[in-house]
Amino acid sequence: MKILLFIVTYKASYRVRKVINEIPFSYFKKFNYKILISDDSSNDNTIKHMNNIKKKNKRVQLNFNKKNIGYGANIKKCLNYAYQKKYNYAAMIHGDNQYSSKYLKQMFRIILNSNCAAITGSRMKKKDNAIKGGMPIYKFIGNIFLTKVFNFFNNSNFTDCHTGYWVYDLKKIQKKWLKNFDNGFLFDLDMRKKILKNNYKIKEIPIVTRYGNERSSTHLNYAIRFFFKSIFS
């Protein structure tokens, strides 16, 4: 059983260390696992923190993109590495520490004992937790609305279609899918739709999210593209 835990980073700085520190290593020691941290050409001190992490953990491997290739393209790079090295499962975690890596234990227990193609962490199964975690109100409302749009047009009942916390079963998710997926922030939407179109299941677990002072700059453009792609693609 080979498991890849990959962390996508962009200007994550010290927060990537917090992500590593919350990984439930005692659970994963029974597996053949590796941690891949893939940075998308950050121009802050993220690389320094990544190098310090690697010095302390022999299971960590680093990738530095020479130029910024985008969120989705960075994920593709990590997943292609997983296919190349014949991993059975892969987990994606964001390096900004918005999602706690402590939930990996629960997510893997589910996917290893189910027929699901993916497990996701939902911030909205317990909506109070999203607010308590600092989710801005416009994102809270937007998440609910766009998730309802997705569910209506895709015959699904998800609570959070915008999460970036995934565990993948690489036996079900095919490498050839990736080439047609978005290289930007709609990668997760493309993955969700493709899994459903192939009649596989995605299970959500409730998670508590954490928002810092950083805010994404994608807001309106992402929302518009998500809306139309949910309906027409």
pLDDT given for residue 129 in this prediction: 85
pLDDT at 219: 79
Cα(229)–Cα(225) distance, integer angstroms: 6
Q: Does residue 217 form part of some domain? A: no
Assigned domain for 141 exists? no
48 within domain boundaries: yes
Residue 56 belongs to a domain: yes
CATH number at residue 16: 3.90.550.10
pTM for the model: 0.96
Q: Is residue 139 part of a domain?
A: no
CB 51 within 8 A of CB 20: no
Q: What radius of gyration, in Å, describes the C-alpha atoms of the chain? A: 17
Q: Assess if residue 226 is contained within a domain.
A: no
Q: What is the pLDDT of residues 43-96, one digit of tens each?
A: 999 999 999 999 999 999 999 999 999 999 999 999 999 999 999 999 999 999
| 26-52 pLDDT per residue, tens | 999 999 999 999 999 999 999 999 999
The two three-digit tokens of residue 157, written as one number: 């009942």
* Whole-number average pLDDT of the chain: 95
Number of independent structural domains in the chain? 1
Handedness of CA 10, 79, 166, 230 (dihedral sign): positive
Does a structural domain hold residue 198?
A: yes
Instruction: Let me know if residue 97 belongs to a domain.
Output: yes
- Residue 116: CB atoms within 10 A of its CB come to 20
Domain range holding 62?
Answer: 2-125+163-211
